[in-house]
Structure 1
Amino acid sequence: MSDQILLALKGVESKLTSCDLEQRVLADRLTQLEQKGVLLTGEGVTKNGSSLGDLFLKSFDQNRELFEKTRSVRLELKAASDAITTSSGRTIASGGVGAPGATILGLQSALPTRPTGGTSAVEYSRYTGQEGAAAQQSAEGDAKAAVKPTHSLITQTGLTIAGYSKMSKQALSDSSELKRSVDITLSRSVGTALDVALVNGAVGFAGGFETLATASTSLIYTGLVDAISEGVSVMQTAGFNPNVAALNPVDWLAILVAKGTANDHYLSGNYLGAMPSEMRGLKVILSPSVDAGKALLLDSAHSELLIVNNFTVEIGYVNADFTSNLVSILGEMRVIPVFRTVGSAMLITPKP
C-alpha cells in the first residue's frame, strides 16, 4: 500500500514539475512580447479616415489581455505610406566616397614593432659608451686591460597619438563608405602625427630620434648619397650594421631624378623603371619630418616601437551630441619608442 502511495506522489511531483516548466516558458514568452511591443501598421488610415487615436484604441482592445497579464504593453503607431506617384520611379545609386589612402610614410615603418598591451612605461638600459679598451698583455702575470660598458637607465612612458571627427548620425547610418572615409582619414592623420613624434620628439620623448642620433657632417662628400655611404662606413667601424635610411621625400626625389653631366642619363637607373625603395643596399623610408638636406641612418636592431594599443576607432556621444544627432569618431593609438644604443643612429649632413 505504501508503495502505491509513493508511486502516486511521484506522479503528482512529475506533473507539478511539468506545470512549473510550462509556466516559466509562458512567462518568458510574455516578457519577450512585452519587450518587443506590438506594431501598428496604420492600415486603413487614408481609406477609412481612421485617426491614430482610433488605431490605438482598436489595437489596445486586441491586446488588453496581454496588458492585464504583464501590466505593460508598447504600441507603435505608423501612418499609412504616401500614395505612389511617377516620382517614385526615380532611382538613386550611390556614387561612392573619396578619401586619400592610408599613409605609407613615417619613421615607424623602419622600426621593428612588438605588442605590449597593458604597459604604461618601459624601463631599459641604454648603452652610452665604454670605459677602457682591450690591449695586449705585456708579460705573463701582468694586469690585463679593463673594459667596462656604460649604461644609462631610461624610463620611457607611452605616447598617445589621437584625433577625432564629428559626423551626423544619419550619415553614419546611411553610408558605410562615408564612415570608412573618415576612418582612413583618421588613420592617415594619426600616422603622420606619430612620424612627427618619433623624428622630432614630443612630450615624454624629448628630441625624438633626430636628437638621439649622432650628428655627422661629411668633410669630403657634397652629395647626400655619398655622405650616407660614408656614414655607413663609420657606423660599421663602430660595430653597427646600418640597414635603413630615412629621407625627406624632397631629397629622395632629387636623388631619383639626378642626371650625369656627361651623358644626361639618370644616375638612379632606368628612366621608365619603377621608383626604387632601396639605395646601395639600404632600405629607404620616406619621412616628411626628417630635416631637408639630411638623412637619418639607422641600425634598426637597436631600436624598437612597442605597441601598447594598436590603432583603434571608437564611436560615441559627447556632451549634447545625442540631442544634436551627432557622433564623435575617435581614432587613437599608444606606443613606446625604445632606443637602446647610442651610436646606432646617425643624422647625416653632406659637406656644405
Structure 2
Amino acid sequence: MTNHTHDIDVAEATKELLNAAKSIGGIEQRLSNMEGHIAKADEEGEKMFDEVKSLKIAANQRAFGGEPMQSWGREFIGKKTSELSDLSRSNGGKVQMDVKANLTTSASSGGAIDVPMRDATVGLPKRRMMVRSLLQVIQTESGTVEYADQTTRNNNPSTVAEGGVKPESNYEWELKNIPTRVIAHWVKASVQILSDAPQIQGLIDSELRYGLVLAEEAQLLFGDGTGANLTGLVPNAAAFADPLAASDPDMIDMIGSAILQVGLADHAPDGIIIHPSDWWRMRMLKDADGRYILGNPQSDVVPSLFGLPVIPTKAMPVDKFLVGSFSEAATLYDRWQPRVEVGYVNDDFTRNLVTIRAEERIALAVKKSDALAYGDFGNVA
C-alpha cells in the first residue's frame, strides 16, 4: 500500500515537472518572438529617421533656392556595387569619395546656404510738418479762388432822438483773386528696378511726397508772392510791438506780449510757431532756485505756452517767432492734393526708364494780417 502511494507521488511530480518545462519553453519562445519584433521595430525606426532627415535636408535646400545636394554618405551608398568593387580592387581595398559641392557662403554652395536677411530700409530722418494743421483748409475745384476782403469799417451808431436823422455807417470790400500754385518735382527710375524691387516704388513715392510738404511748409511761411510763389504768412504778418513795453523781457515774456498784441486786434490766438532751438531755450529756463519753469525734466511736457500749442519747426529761422490766430488769419485751398504719377518722357520707353512725378496744387489767402504777429527774440545778432 505504501509502495503504491509512492509510485503515484513520483508520477505526479514527474507530470508537474514536464508541464513546468513546457511552460518555460513557451516563455522562452515568446521572449524570442518579442526580441525579434523589437529588433524589427528598431530597424524600421532607424530607416524612418533616415528618411525624415533626408527629406528635411532637401526641404531646407529647396527653401534656399537650390537643388537638393547629395550628402557624402548618400553619394557613397548610391554607387553601384560593381563600381565600388572595381574601385576597391584598383586602390588596394581603399575607396576615396569627394563631395561635389563646396560648403561656402557663395551662391553655388549647395543652393546658396547663406541667404541674406532683408531688413527694413533705413531712410534719412524726416521733419514733422505741422504749420498746415494750424490753418483752415478747404478743397476747391477751381484754379482761382475769389473772396471779398473788407477794407473799410466805419461804424457810426448812436442814440437818436425821436424824429432825428439816423447816422450813416460805411463799409467797403475789395474782391481779391488768389491763383493756385503748383509745387512739383520728379525723379527717373528704371523699369527693371521697379519690377525687381517693388518696395522701391513705395520708397520713391514716400520721398517725393515728403519733398512736397517740405516745400509747402516753406511757402506757407515765407512765400513772397512773386512769380509762382505763394504769398506766405510772415510777409503779411504785423510786426511785433510789445504792448506792455517790458524793460527786460525774456523769451516767454515776449511770446506773452505777442499773444496780447493779437488779442488787442480782436483776434483769438490759437498757435505759436518757433524754431526747435528756441523752444528748448525756453524749456530749460530755471527760476532762482534752479527749478525748471516749464516743468520737471522727468515729465513729458507737450510744447505749449499760455495754453496755446507751440509748433517747433526748422522752417522758422532761429530767434524768430510767429504768434497768431491762424484759423482766422489765412485759408489754405487744396486744388490738387499730393499725387504721384508715372509716365514716359521722350525716348524713355526705348531706354526702359520712367519718370515718377509728384505734385500738388494749392492756394493760400492771408485775409487778416493783424491776426499775426512776427517778431525777433533778440538772442542772435
TM-score with structure 1 setting the length: 0.67
Residue 183 of structure 1 corresponds to 205
Greater gyration radius: 2
Residue 148 of structure 2 corresponds to 125
C-alpha distance 141-283 of structure 1, shift in aligned 2 (>3 A):
farther
The partner residue of 2:275 within 244, 248, 263 is: 248
Decide whether the 8 Å contact of 2:303 with 2:310 is kept in 1. Answer: yes
Decide whether the 8 Å contact of 1:128 with 1:341 is kept in 2. Answer: no
Determine helix, strand or coil for the equivalent of 2:215. helix
Residue 40 of structure 1 corresponds to none
1:239 aligns with 2:266: yes
C-alpha distance 148-348 of structure 1, shift in aligned 2 (>3 A):
farther
The partner residue of 1:222 within 241, 244, 249 is: 249
1:93 aligns with 2:117: yes
Residue 308 of structure 1 corresponds to 335
Cα drift, residue 284 of structure 1? 1.8
Cα drift, residue 199 of structure 1? 1.0
Decide whether the 8 Å contact of 1:137 with 1:143 is kept in 2. Answer: no
Residue 359 of structure 2 corresponds to 332
C-alpha distance 299-206 of structure 1, shift in aligned 2 (>3 A):
same
Decide whether the 8 Å contact of 2:180 with 2:361 is kept in 1. Answer: yes
**Structure 1 stretches lacking a partner, 5+ long:** 1-83
Amino acid aligned to 1:200: F
1:278 aligns with 2:301: no
C-alpha distance 94-350 of structure 1, shift in aligned 2 (>3 A):
closer
Q: Deviations over 1:243-269 (max 9, x none)?
A: 111212222222222233x12222221
C-alpha distance 102-350 of structure 1, shift in aligned 2 (>3 A):
closer
C-alpha distance 178-270 of structure 1, shift in aligned 2 (>3 A):
farther
Cα drift, residue 350 of structure 1? 4.6
Decide whether the 8 Å contact of 2:319 with 2:378 is kept in 1. Answer: no
1:208 aligns with 2:232: yes
Cα drift, residue 280 of structure 1? 1.4
- Aligned partners of 1:143 and 1:293: how far apart in 2? 55
Matches within 5 A, 1:91-170: 91-100=115-124, 103-116=127-140, 118-131=141-154, 133-134=155-156, 136-137=158-159, 141-170=163-192
C-alpha distance 242-312 of structure 1, shift in aligned 2 (>3 A):
same
- Aligned partners of 1:146 and 1:293: how far apart in 2? 47
Cα drift, residue 106 of structure 1? 4.6
- Aligned partners of 1:231 and 1:170: how far apart in 2? 56
Decide whether the 8 Å contact of 2:258 with 2:373 is kept in 1. Answer: yes
The partner residue of 2:195 within 158, 162, 173 is: 173
C-alpha distance 266-311 of structure 1, shift in aligned 2 (>3 A):
same
Residue 263 of structure 1 corresponds to 289
Decide whether the 8 Å contact of 2:262 with 2:324 is kept in 1. Answer: no
C-alpha distance 314-134 of structure 1, shift in aligned 2 (>3 A):
same
**Structure 2 stretches lacking a partner, 5+ long:** 1-106
Amino acid aligned to 2:138: R
Deviates more, 1:141-150 or 1:321-330: 141-150
- Aligned partners of 1:297 and 1:173: how far apart in 2? 49
- Aligned partners of 2:249 and 2:353: how far apart in 1? 56
Q: Deviations over 1:115-149 (max 9, x none)?
A: 21x31010112234523x44643755555554433
- Aligned partners of 1:120 and 1:143: how far apart in 2? 47
Determine helix, strand or coil for the equivalent of 1:94. coil
Residue 314 of structure 2 corresponds to 288
Greater RCO (Cα-Cα under 8 Å, separation 6 or more): 1
Residue 18 of structure 2 corresponds to none
Q: From the two aligned structures, give the one with the greater strand fraction.
A: 1
Determine helix, strand or coil for the equivalent of 2:369. coil
Deviates more, 1:145-154 or 1:331-340: 145-154
Determine helix, strand or coil for the equivalent of 1:217. coil
Decide whether the 8 Å contact of 1:170 with 1:325 is kept in 2. Answer: yes
1:298 aligns with 2:329: no
**Once the two structures are aligned, what percentage of the paired residues are identical?**
23
Q: Deviations over 1:57-116 (max 9, x none)?
A: xxxxxxxxxxxxxxxxxxxxxxxxxxx964533434323322246642252221121221
- Aligned partners of 1:224 and 1:129: how far apart in 2? 35
